[in-house]
Amino acid sequence: MLVKVFVTPREGILDPQGRATEGALRSLGFGGVNSVRVGRYIVLDIDAPTKAAAEEAAKKMCEQLLANPLIEDYRFEVEGA
Amino acid sequence: MSAVSLPGEPVVDVVQARAHGLTEGEYAAIERCLGRTPTFTELGVFSVMWSEHCSYKSSRKHLRMLPMRGPRVAGGPGENAGAIDIGDGWVAVFKIESHNHPSFVEPYQGAATGVGGILRDIFTMGARPIASMNSLKFGSFDHPRTRYLLSGVVGGIGGYGNCVGVPTVAGEVMFDAAYNANILVNAFCLGLARREELQSARARGAGNPVLYVGSATGRDGIHGASLLASAEFDAESASKRPTVQVGDPFTEKLLIEACLEAMKTGAIVAIQDMGAAGLTSSSSEMAGRGGLGIELDLDRVPLREPGLTPYEILLSESQERMLLVAERGREGELAAVFEKWDLHAVTVGRITDDARWRALYCGRVVADIPVASLSDEAPVYDRPAAPPAMPMRVRGTKKRPVAPEPGAALRALLASPNICSRRWVYRQYDWIVQSNTVVGPGSDAAIVRIKGSRRGLAMKVDSNPRMCAIDPYLGAVATVCEAARNVACAGARPAGITNCLNYGNPERPEIMWQLVRGIEGLRDAAIAFETPVISGNVSLYNETEGRAIPPTPTIAMVGVFEDVERRVTQCFKQPGDVILVVSTAPPSLAGSEFDALFGTVAEGLERIDLERERKLIEGLVGCAEGGLVHSAHDVAEGGFAVALAEACFNLDGIFGAEVELALPLGGAAEALFGEGASTVIISAPTDRIEAIGTLFSPLEIRPIGRVSDRARLRIDSLIDEDVRGLMAVYEEALAGRLGAK
Amino acid sequence: MKWGVVSFPGSLDDADALYALREVMGQDATRLWHKDERLMGAQCIILPGGFSYGDYLRCGAIARFSPIMKSIARFAADGGLVIGTCNGFQILCEARLLPGVLVRNRSLSFICDRVIVRVENARTPFTCATRAGDLLRLPIKHGEGRYVAPEDEIRQIEERGQVLLRYVDASGAETDEANPNGSMHAIAGIANERFNVFGLMPHPEHAVEKMLVGGDDGLKLFHSVIESVR
């Protein structure tokens, strides 16, 4: 099963990368950029009997390793169930 | 004067005060000093300013005994960092600071923001940061969290330090089960300034504007100082956990350049970084030093997200922010400099002459407090101190009563995580940038040159918690002696100290006793070496569920070279040179790494004769200045045999050593692996023995053997090892254990 | 001769390059500000190491859009000499002034060390004071220094002699151990097809004084440029 994980800086946490990228986009003349947050996109191919099991496994992986809940939020999508 | 509460704010009473970490007595004192009940905002302000972290309320009384003055001192305690005169019009500004609790919670960001904070303390003085060091203590190497913490902390120090372009030139790393639940991350920074360019953090001139520069304010680290650094860890710590502070070294680099450039305009009256307790502490401390008042308009503070309350704005510990007092009418000049660096200076308040600390929000006064009550008049405690019934030992049971034969013991020590090469660590730090590094990490002391002069500086950070655990006074004395010895081995004259005092919960009499004894030791040794303590930091409550760390006073010593060409390094350089040993006392296995690895019956420490220690330092400096020796190396963890092996590890060509100590066959361990005593290993041409002896007199110098071009290390018939083999063990141990290359 | 050293926000080794050129080598060197477009008559331009714009997003990705980079691209197109060290190398790759790209080190961590590189082509303005096969000891300090390019591109780069420096061991042999970051073909420095743009991960500007940890092997590269311009 394919699990797509999106990790982003938690709301309210300083995101230096996002801020620098935002500034660069503006200086290149891209108007209308209100804010930029830079995160990570992780694709997992995992074995799981059901979609629910895959979701449960993905949640554990996110909490323990893929995201640091102190500073990052995560969400994921399970495909191919 | 009065201040108003805002709709929706919690009711302020003694219960609320207690939730803020204040005692009933402290809350009563706040009511007395205001003549009324504080607003919720004011309560928050008092709670951080009266926290252990900001007020030093448990240690302040005792810190006064430290020698802080001296002919070289160019600016001392009271400012953001101390400074010593190093000649030719230059001053070195330096300080060490802890970031223990944040690093345990989030090792990468905790360590990174620790580096960021200490850098700001230095450049706020008008000094360009030129060298960093750090002292790290982790739990047992085999503890499940140690690896995670180690790589996070090392990554954070590198990630931040490398990106701001300040070389990390030296450090120390120790692993001991006593730190399993409380790691220590102490960060040091040294900056260089022209004497006349030193900046102050003392506000002057009522009516002068207060400017805010740097990152916008978010909810980061609110109550980091009062709740995390001023109470011990327990099961509830997780829920008290403030929003983790995230460092942005790129903004810090811009701040460094912009601030140093802005200072050159002469339009800055006072400047301070918004560190612990952020806007509150920086504004009240600058006003307090100048005996003035300050008024802040919180609506003007740049915010990262909408909806921050005055309480949050004042207590935020967002990183990379500076507060400065400008000369009235010259704000534009300063703003132009900051704009050049893509930073914006915003006027957020003004200096007043009424000695009040006042904050306005939406046109209403939300805090109005006498400035002095936030700083000078914060509570000071004389907490009871008493020695424990039993001396505390770091290590519990004795594991192996029988030590292996000396060769095997030497190899085991060289492979110990506490002794082996730290290359895996310092390879992740930039120790080259700025083109000043003469000797980098992996040596006794680091050496940097001063551009445009013949001068140089040597620096080293040391601690000795195992000795401190046996005797907190002697341990502290020994730590200063070791730091001085490391600097003097390099050939520099010890000139000044900064210290970071890491201890447990001061509300326990035995911890308080450790702290007081530690400060006394530090005092006595600093006086003996004439090295004033020009700055420092105290980190208490390093304990978890009633188990404190061993007393860990960390000492950074800075020494001065009149001519950096006269430096000495630790490695042998010339076959045929005589190997000399100078020592102030017999070594002991008590508290040694040998003891930790093999478990011996060692008890008790030798007394330390500071007059003899001083002679040793004088001798080392004299040898270097006279160009008499080819190498000098301090005997530290692992004792004589380990130090002798290290002296053979010259990357430019391997040497060996032939040594006769005439040791008794049975009882050689103390002489080979004992620590505690001050001992140095020197190599020099034979015809200089006499001249060297004169310099160390009345200490005895003992010729014990020769440097050889055969890569073998031989001591009596006890040890006969291949130097390349020993070096491989030493070099590969840490990376090997971490499963990395 | 006249040198220009570019300062981006976050540049670190700009001051060191200026010091090396002016104080150690007695050259005429000017700091070029990223917001400017003027090159102040420089005959050789150095893009220094550091973390331009924090190296956020991708190393060098934001810096390449600076006003000064437009002028530098024109300068290079006209045959002007450009050297990028470390972050400067990354910027030159992002700006497509050099082929390939620099990615995360094989070890996934920052590496500060001294390495040995072998001169592969001494018939360039950047290496003409050396001989092919010479070994130079130079410092490195980077987290993203692993040079990668498509295999067919690398083959062309090799055939045209664009590889100027390669990581080797003390005996001059190419070994896996001597390759600090896992670069393809152990590439430490490359030039463009016209041999007027040079990017390298090691720091010659930190190897100009014997007293310092970096040694002084970097002087040979600077002397090459001075000789070639003369």
Residues of C in contact with B428 (CB under 8 A): 109-112
Q: B260 versus B228: which is more confidently predicted?
A: B260
Taking the model in full, what pTM does it have?
Answer: 0.93
pLDDT above 50 (res B239): no
User: Scanning every residue of chain C, which has its alpha carbon at the shortest distance from the alpha carbon of B454?
Assistant: C211
| The pLDDT of residue B249 | 94
Averaged pLDDT score across all residues of chain B: 91
Mean pLDDT of all residues in B449-463:
96
Are the C-beta atoms of residues B346 and B260 closer than 8 Å to each other?
A: no
Chain C residues within 8 A (CB-CB) of chain B? 9-10, 12-13, 15-16, 19-20, 23, 50-51, 53-56, 107, 109-113, 139, 141, 143, 203, 205-206, 209, 211-214
Contacts of B380 (CB under 8 A, 6+ apart): B55, B57, B60, B61
B62 given a catalytic annotation: no
Q: Which of B5, B1, B39, B33 is nearest to B20 (CA)?
A: B39
pLDDT above 70 (res C134): yes
> Model confidence at C182, in pLDDT bands (50, 70, 90)?
very high
| The pLDDT of residue A75 | 94
Are the C-beta atoms of residues B406 and B591 closer than 8 Å to each other?
A: no
B724-740: pLDDT as tens digits: 999 999 999 998 888 75
**Phi, psi at C204, each rounded to 5°:** -65, -30
In chain C, % of residues over pLDDT 70: 100
Domain C2-229: homologous superfamily in CATH:
Class I glutamine amidotransferase (GATase) domain (3.40.50.880)
pLDDT above 60 (res B636): yes
Mean pLDDT of all residues in C60-76:
93
Domain regions of chain A by residue span:
2-79
B417-426: pLDDT as tens digits: 999 999 999 9
Whether residue A20 and residue C53 make contact (CB cut-off 8 A), yes or no, is yes
- B342 in A contact zone (CB under 8 Å): yes
Residues of A in contact with B102 (CB under 8 A): none
Give me B57's structure tokens: 């309320």
B205 φ/ψ sector (left φ>0, alpha ψ -120 to 50, else beta): left
Q: How far is CA B494 from the centre of its chain?
A: 17
Cis preceding-peptide flag for B698 (omega within 30 of 0): yes
pLDDT above 50 (res B741): no
B192-218: pLDDT as tens digits: 999 999 999 999 999 999 999 999 998
Determine which one of B20, B62, B99, B101 is catalytic: B99
pLDDT above 50 (res B20): yes
Nearest to B218 among A14, A68, A70 (CB): A14
| The pLDDT of residue B526 | 97
Q: B564 versus A19: which is more confidently predicted?
A: B564
Q: Which 18-37 residues of chain A touch chain C by CB within 8 A?
A: 20-21, 24, 27-28
> Model confidence at B238, in pLDDT bands (50, 70, 90)?
very low
User: Scanning every residue of chain C, which has its alpha carbon at the shortest distance from the alpha carbon of A37?
Assistant: C57
Interface test with C, best of B168, B255, B433 (most C CBs within 10 A): B433
| The pLDDT of residue B397 | 43
**ipTM for the complex shown:** 0.96
pLDDT above 70 (res B603): no
Whether residue B249 and residue C109 make contact (CB cut-off 8 A), yes or no, is no
- B436 in C contact zone (CB under 8 Å): yes
pLDDT above 90 (res B262): yes
**CATH topology for the A2-79 domain:** Mth169; Chain: A , (3.30.1280)
C-alpha to C-alpha distance for B20 and B14, rounded to whole angstroms: 10
Domain regions of chain C by residue span:
2-229
Cα end-to-end span (Å), chain A: 6
| The pLDDT of residue B226 | 56
Q: C29 versus A13: which is more confidently predicted?
A: C29
Cα end-to-end span (Å), chain C: 8
Residues of C in contact with A38 (CB under 8 A): 56-57
Whether residue A20 and residue C65 make contact (CB cut-off 8 A), yes or no, is no
Query: Partners for C (CB, 8 Å, 3+ pairs)?
Result: A, B
Count of beta carbons in the 10 Å neighbourhood of residue B309: 18
C-alpha to C-alpha distance for B403 and B408, rounded to whole angstroms: 9
B569-586: pLDDT as tens digits: 999 999 999 999 999 988
B353-406: pLDDT as tens digits: 999 999 999 999 999 999 999 988 889 999 999 998 766 554 444 444 567 899
CA distances from B47 to B57, B699, C97 (A): 12, 53, 57
B107-145: pLDDT as tens digits: 999 999 999 999 999 999 999 999 999 999 999 999 989
